[in-house]
Amino acid sequence: MVHAASTGRLASQRGDPSEAPVAAAAGRTPLLELENISKVFGGVNALRAVKFDVMPGEVLCLAGENGCGKSTIIKIINGVYQPEPGAVMLMDGESIEGLDPAKARELGIQVIWQDLALFPEMTVAENIAFEQNLGARPRLVNYGKMKEAARRILERLGVVIDLNRPVRSLSIAQRQIVAIARALVRDARLVFMDEPTASLSHAETEALLEIVRRLSADGIAVVFVSHRLAEVLEVCTRVTVLRDGQYVGTFPTEGMTQTRLTELMTGRTFDYAVRDTNLAAAPVVLEVQGLSRGREYADVSLRIRKGEILGVTGRLGAGRTELALSLFGMTRPRAGSIRIDGKEIVLRSNRDAIRAGIAYVSEDRLQLGLVQPQSIGDNTVAAVLDDLLDATHLISSRKRNALIHDWIQQLAVKIGKPDDAVSTLSGGNQQRIVLAKWLATNPKLLILDSPTVGVDVGARAGIFAIIHKLAAQGMAILLISDEIPEVYFNADRILHMRNGRIVGEYVPGATTMEHIERDVHA
């Protein structure tokens, strides 16, 4: 279980020399150096006197919770925003002023945002060479020259991708490489990568980190933004931490732990311990026997008891989400049985699943979990509209508002007004609204598919605190995650899926996390 409590001053201020903030290497000129960077939006200080520097060829991590100012400072460096008066920005020791996106590109600054901003219907070569044509006068396209430029860049990265393939046909990992290649076409010297591994498997992540190391060896500086702290500590030499729009410090990653970095980012202490529960006598809520669906999953059998959190982990493509979709009635298994409270059920649709007391939080919060343009309130009540009808069969404003208020209070969602668009919320608060939507259905079984994707470490602790509370109240929970520490510290039992089958079962505490990681990544 994860506990968070307020802490005092940071380790570097407590006299711990191993964590003292470090500046750029003495005697060397930083590639980029910022001082006194502030930004105000509508009277709110998004950044306050922040400093930042990165050396040529360095891999630096920019870390902090959602809303700490990471995106704001990247957009200032990229020329999208202008800092407040008094800011100092130096490139190669020379002052830069009047920065805009075009000038930033000329200076060799490139940003690869999480959405990648690629053209899905265009080919790999066209996407990579797109940067070469920005601002150029209209002319016939030289496809031979375009393909040659793309081929050279991919060779430099040490990868092979068919230049004629449309980007829509590529995997997420391949699209990441195309986005990196596009940045290099314009002779990038500094590349920002925003959550580049969020949707990648372990093997794909390792391949991407190798490309980052290759860029560093070529003298290209990379600023890595990621909530996956293990990757940060593996690939970066320093980490700059922001909190609430302020500069906390820049620290060496050597000797840094994930726990300590989390404390620096949040200002809180996190104590990690496995769950200590005895549920052997609790009634079985979900029982699955021999469930199969072609190549997606086969012969899956499992039980989840009342109040139990069952973790399911494995590499991407193991069949975890496919299993979850069948348990929620979105797809039909071809063999096997599903029982809720001992009664066999047939799920022809998600409506059948909801009536049976099953709720499902998808890993794709933006596309499947929420309707982004709609309000916070509308998203909260979307799954229980029938329960809000009055005698005239119209939605009762009183019932609706009471339900919205109740769940916002229970889940401690930080909002402006319920009528604000749900897209205005941070990732962690959006995920709480998704939970509220399904908890309003009063489920017996809650399926959580990668519930913390794109959610920062502080918000994760809050979400898991909610999950633990729901389990303590008797809800059965199926927790799917490819992040093994998540299931290790938050599940009572863990199942390992590979190639659509359950190949291992573990009890946290009785098995080490390292043992599970070895099995999963073998």
Q: Is pLDDT at 139 greater than 90 in this prediction?
A: no
- Structure confidence at residue 195 (pLDDT): 84
Residue 28 has pLDDT above 90, yes or no: no
Question: Looking at the chain, which residues constitute the CATH 3.40.50.300 domain(s)?
Answer: 1-23+54-82+99-108+189-272, 284-520
Phi, psi of 369 (to 5 degrees): -90, -35
Q: What is the pLDDT of residue 279?
A: 94
Q: How many angstroms separate the CA atoms of 468 and 309, rounded?
A: 8
Looking at per-residue pLDDT, the higher value among 229 and 478 belongs to 478
Q: What mean pLDDT do residues 22-46 have? A: 83
Angle, alpha carbons 271-272-275 (nearest 5°): 125
Question: Which residues are CB-neighbours of 224 under 8 A, at least 6 positions away?
Answer: 59, 60, 61, 62, 193, 196, 212, 231, 232, 235, 236
pLDDT of residue 517: 85
At 27, the pLDDT band (50, 70, 90 cuts) reads low
**Inter-residue contact 106 to 43 (CB < 8 Å):** no
Distance CA 133, CA 139 (A): 10
Bridge partner residues of 284 (DSSP): 305
* pLDDT of 152 above 50: yes
In sequence order, the β-bridge partners of residue 224 are 61, 193
Both ends of the chain: CA-CA distance in Å?
Answer: 27
- pLDDT, greater one: 459 or 36: 36
More confident residue, 127 or 132: 127
As a whole number of angstroms, the distance between CA 509 and CA 522 comes to 21
What pLDDT score was predicted for residue 445?
97
C-alpha distances in Å from residue 447, one per residue of 130, 282, 411, 413, 426: 42, 19, 18, 20, 22
Band (213; pLDDT cuts 50, 70, 90)? very high
Pick 324 or 365 by higher pLDDT. Answer: 324
Please enumerate in sequence order all residues whose Cβ is within 8 A of that of 42, keeping only pairs 6 or more positions apart, or say none. Answer: none
Give CA–CA dist 63/61, Å, rounded. Answer: 6
Q: Is the whole model's pTM more than 0.75, yes or no?
A: no
Could you tell me the two tokens for 103? 């000038």
Least confident of 165-174, 305-314, 408-417: 408-417
Q: How far apart are CA 266 and CA 456, in angstroms?
A: 10
pLDDT cut 90: percent of the chain above it: 54
Residue 130 has pLDDT above 80, yes or no: no
pLDDT of residue 14: 35
Average pLDDT over residues 383-408: 89
pLDDT band at 9 (very low <50, low <70, confident <90, very high): very low
- 446: enclosing H helix or E strand: strand 445-449
Q: Return the pLDDT at 259.
A: 79
> What integer pLDDT is reported at residue 132 of this predicted model?
66
Tens of pLDDT along 72-112? 999 999 999 999 999 999 999 999 988 999 999 999 999 99
CATH code assigned to 284-520: 3.40.50.300
Pick the CATH number of 1-23+54-82+99-108+189-272 from 3.40.1440.60, 3.40.1360.10, 3.40.50.720, 3.40.50.300: 3.40.50.300
Contact 395, 385 (CB under 8 A): yes
* Two tokens, residue 188: 């990038």
| Residues counted in the chain | 522
pLDDT for 366: 65
Q: What pLDDT shows up at residue 203?
A: 75
- Average pLDDT score over residue span 147-164: 90
- Please tell me the predicted confidence (pLDDT) of residue 327: 97
User: Who's near 361: CB < 8 A, 6+ residues apart?
Assistant: 369, 431, 434, 435, 438, 446, 447, 448, 449, 451
Helix, strand or coil, per DSSP, at residue 433:
helix
> Given strand 284-293, what is the order of strands in its sheet?
297-305, 284-293, 335-340, 343-345
**Average pLDDT of every residue of the chain:** 87
270 or 440, greater pLDDT: 440
Query: Does residue 446 contact residue 478 with C-beta atoms inside 8 Å?
Result: yes
Mean pLDDT of 11-37: 64
SS3 303: strand
For residues 330-340, average pLDDT: 97
